[in-house]
Amino acid sequence: MRITTWNVNSVKQRLPHLLGFLAEAQPDVVCLQELKCVDDAFPRTEIEEAGYVVATHGQKAFNGVALLARRPLPLQEIRRGLPGDESDEQARYIEAVIPTATVPVRVASIYLPNGNPVATPKYDYKLAFMRRLQAHAVALRAREEVLVLAGDYNVIPEPEDAADPAAWASDALFLPQTRAAFRTLLNEGFTDALRACDGRPGVYSFWDYQAGCWPRNQGIRIDHLLLSPQGLDRLVSASVQKHLRGLDKPSDHVPVTVELDLG
């Protein structure tokens, strides 16, 4: 099973790129973030015609997450919204179970808050969201399922995950508190799939639109797929589809994909 996470930065603007990727890579499951549209405005028809079933948790102009499963795979037990704060109206979390011929796979698409500017409620919200995610992840891990927590975490885990770490020293994505919260999640028994397969520095998933970051490869790695122990046992490979950043009018993120052996 191939599972991809991708912050598309407006699904309607990036629909041709998304459809091209589905045809090219044929992922079994796709976790999308930053849809920037309500559920009714999501291009469901086009994606269903490409061979996928769809579950969305949208929000007008901001945020929004979705799960796509390649038919005949269904999406079951769909959860919209991260538990722990009933007042949180931001569309940043969707989860579902994909039954297969061998084992069920639980997948979440996560769009973690950016948190900037620091020293504002936005950063408080980011850390609170991470605490809620940790609590929910621990509860899910107890099910002992193949679990993939995929998405745009807006976290640069280590200095080697940025081309210029010093430039991010005071940014919410790289502050010590942010990185500590991410490590706490890993310490609960989850594995960063890409780093389990590729420990090289210089592997990025995001390049800002400004200052020629893409041509100069001034990127950061903030899109992650975290695996439960049962998921790690089935990990075959993990890779970044970097070439999509070079398309005309691309997202500033590229897809990251893991392959699991469910046999």
Specify binding-site residues for Mg(2+).
Answer: 7, 34, 152, 154, 252-253
Give the separation between CA 192 and CA 225, rounded to whole angstroms. Answer: 6
- If you search the block for the tokens 């179970």, which residue do you land on? 97
Among the residues of the chain, which ranges form H helices? 15-25, 44-49, 121-141, 176-187, 193-197, 229-232
List the catalytic residue out of 28, 57, 93, 111: 111
List the catalytic residue out of 28, 152, 161, 171: 152
DSSP string, 7-70: E-SSTTTTHHHHHHHHHHH--SEEEEE---S-GGGS-HHHHHHTTEEEEEE--SSS--EEEEEE
Check if 111 is active-site.
yes
DSSP state of 253: B
Is the Cβ–Cβ distance between 172 and 116 less than 8 Å? yes
Check if 253 is active-site.
yes
Residue 98, token pair as written in the block: 């994909």
Residue 146, token pair as written in the block: 């193949």
Catalytic residues: 111, 152, 253
